[in-house]
């Protein structure tokens, strides 16, 4: 790109100070025995893993989780060695050396992975940092109970693995009353007991709000750091992180019955003022969202008119007085009037999916990025 984004159609503002405030809030909910990690997989839920990780590091976070080894390799240069990066999806076959060399810590999810990592440690005659994930009932990732016992017996011998954590993941943490929470907690306690003295990790964002029993030694929040409500049934305690605005590129007055967009699906009920915005499904605004979607201009709600196109949408701006909105006006897609969870609801999905779908075409502005760098640079020059 040859410009700084000033001609882009839409602007994504990521408030790193809000990410830091959210991290502090989550940490304050944890007991003194529990550390707070930062989950920055999928490019920090679409918001920029290097920026977010540095902001969290500046806040004292030293445990970072990504999903893929490649994500860990990409993030590693941004973080000092005092920060651990854990690979949630496990150790890819044949990637042991790569993992060791980059200083990344695999989450072992199967006996095969445990064996490969164990062999690698013996070959190198080194103790390797390791996380073991056990399946406490979600049936997605991690060792099944029988394999957990085998793993504990065969591989937790002192000196080969430096077992940093035994972890599991909750399936229903966002529904506090769900019976699965207590069942998974009990199963996790039993399985983790096979690794005596190894620190434990269970809670994601929502899990932190289930209470002290779920905190153990390390919590792993992702979504809540980014402003998504960890308890969808209650008022969101997190600070909003994302603001998304789109530019008006054209305005037109239409008559009753005039039709709009692909398929001419929409028919203007009355004489209307329509605004075309330079944002579309290529920017993560799903076509399904169009049916119930709206954007905001100041505090006025402008409903979507017709189908979402790849690069544009049309909204009904009749409620805005003539002359008050025009080409280059900015409308809010996510922000004060429409939090990320509300947009998700209108699209029939969840905040997680909205954020990770945002795409790469925006002008991106990071608020507070300059405040996160110095401590990192300082630490590296001191160590
Ligand atoms: C994604 C993920 C998290 C973070 O979950 P949030 O709900 O975003 O807080 C934690 N642990 C595991 C294993 C994950 O896959």
Q: Of 46, 56, 65, which is best to mutate to test ligand 1, by the most ligand atoms within 8 angstroms of its C-beta?
A: 65
Residue 65 falls inside a structural domain = yes
pLDDT value at residue 302:
98
**Which of the residues in the chain have pLDDT under 50?**
1-2, 374-378, 381-383
Distance 259 CA to ligand 1 centre (A): 44
**Residue count of the chain:** 383
Q: Which domain holds residue 255?
A: 242-338
Q: Identify whether residues 219 and 122 lie together within a single domain.
A: yes
pLDDT value at residue 318:
98
> Helix %, strand %, coil % for the chain, to 5?
35, 25, 45
pLDDT value at residue 127:
95
Give the separation between CA 318 and CA 340, rounded to whole angstroms. 25
pLDDT value at residue 378:
46
Residue 8 falls inside a structural domain = no
Q: Identify whether residues 115 and 37 lie together within a single domain.
A: yes
Residue 278 falls inside a structural domain = yes
Residue 375 falls inside a structural domain = no
Q: Identify whether residues 89 and 130 lie together within a single domain.
A: yes
* Residues with active-site annotation: 41, 262
Identify the CA nearest to 226 among candidates 237, 239, 207, 216: 239
Distance 229 CA to ligand 1 centre (A): 14
Q: Identify whether residues 194 and 315 lie together within a single domain.
A: no
The ligand 1 site (C-beta within 6 Å) comprises: 39, 41, 88, 169, 204-206, 220-224
Residue 3 falls inside a structural domain = no
Collapsing DSSP to helix, strand or coil, 302 comes out as: strand
Residue 381 falls inside a structural domain = no
Q: Please return the burial class of 23, using the count of CB atoms within 10 Å of its CB with bins 0-12, 13-18 and 19+.
A: buried
What is the number of the ligand 1 atom nearest to the C-alpha of 107? 13
pLDDT value at residue 189:
98
Give the separation between CA 75 and CA 66, rounded to whole angstroms. 9
Structure tokens at 124: 């190198």
Q: Of 202, 220, 225, which is best to mutate to test ligand 1, by the most ligand atoms within 8 angstroms of its C-beta?
A: 220
Q: Identify whether residues 185 and 254 lie together within a single domain.
A: no
Q: Identify whether residues 99 and 194 lie together within a single domain.
A: yes
Domain boundary among 303, 319, 338: 338
| Atom 3, ligand 1: residue with shortest CA distance | 204
Distance 205 CA to ligand 1 centre (A): 7
Q: Identify whether residues 184 and 285 lie together within a single domain.
A: no
pLDDT value at residue 379:
52
Domain boundary among 198, 225, 252: 225
Q: Of 27, 61, 166, 169, which is best to mutate to test ligand 1, by the most ligand atoms within 8 angstroms of its C-beta?
A: 169
pLDDT value at residue 89:
97
pLDDT value at residue 381:
42
| Atom 15, ligand 1: residue with shortest CA distance | 88
Residue 69 falls inside a structural domain = yes
Q: Identify whether residues 74 and 195 lie together within a single domain.
A: yes
Residue 9 falls inside a structural domain = no
pLDDT value at residue 2:
44
Distance 89 CA to ligand 1 centre (A): 11
What is the number of the ligand 1 atom nearest to the C-alpha of 141? 13
Residue 273's CATH number? 2.40.37.10
Distance 225 CA to ligand 1 centre (A): 11
- Contact criterion met (CB below 8 Å) for 89 and 72: no
User: Is the alpha carbon torsion for 190, 195, 198, 201 positive or negative?
Assistant: negative
Number of domains in the chain: 2
């Amino acid at each position: 790109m040859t410009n700084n984004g000033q001609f882009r159609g839409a602007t994504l503002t990521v408030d790193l100070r809000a990410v830091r405030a959210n991290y502090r809030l989550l940490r304050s909910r944890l007991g003194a025995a529990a550390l707070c990690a930062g989950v920055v997989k999928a490019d920090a839920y679409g918001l920029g893993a290097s920026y977010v990780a540095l902001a969290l590091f500046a806040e004292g976070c030293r445990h970072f989780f990504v999903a893929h080894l490649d994500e860990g390799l990409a993030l590693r240069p941004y973080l000092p060695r005092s920060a651990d990066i854990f690979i949630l999806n496990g150790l890819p076959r044949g990637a042991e050396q790569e993992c060791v060399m980059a200083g990344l810590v695999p989450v072992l999810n199967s006996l095969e992975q445990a064996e490969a990592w164990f062999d690698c440690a013996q070959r190198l005659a080194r103790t390797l940092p390791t996380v073991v994930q056990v399946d406490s009932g979600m049936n997605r990732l991690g060792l099944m109970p029988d394999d957990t016992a085998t793993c504990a017996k065969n591989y937790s011998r002192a000196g080969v693995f430096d077992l940093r954590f035994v972890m599991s993941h909750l399936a229903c943490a966002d529904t506090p009353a769900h019976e699965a929470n207590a069942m998974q907690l009990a199963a996790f306690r039993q399985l983790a007991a096979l690794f005596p003295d190894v620190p434990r990790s269970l809670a994601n964002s929502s899990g932190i709000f289930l209470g002290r029993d779920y905190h153990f030694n390390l919590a792993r929040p992702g979504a809540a750091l980014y402003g998504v409500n960890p308890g969808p049934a209650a008022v969101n305690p997190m600070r909003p992180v994302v603001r998304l605005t789109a530019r008006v590129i054209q305005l037109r007055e239409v008559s009753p019955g005039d039709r709009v967009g692909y398929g001419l699906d929409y028919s203007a009920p009355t004489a209307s003022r329509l605004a075309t915005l330079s944002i579309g499904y290529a920017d993560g605004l799903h076509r399904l969202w169009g049916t119930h979607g709206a954007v905001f201009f100041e505090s006025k709600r402008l409903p979507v008119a017709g189908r979402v196109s790849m690069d544009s949408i049309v909204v009904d701006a009749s409620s805005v007085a003539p002359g008050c909105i025009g080409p280059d006006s900015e409308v809010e897609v996510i922000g004060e009037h429409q939090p990320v969870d509300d947009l998700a609801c209108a699209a029939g999905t969840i905040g997680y999916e909205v954020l990770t779908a945002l795409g790469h075409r925006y002008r991106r502005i990071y608020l507070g990025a300059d405040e996160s760098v110095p401590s990192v640079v300082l630490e590296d020059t001191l160590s």
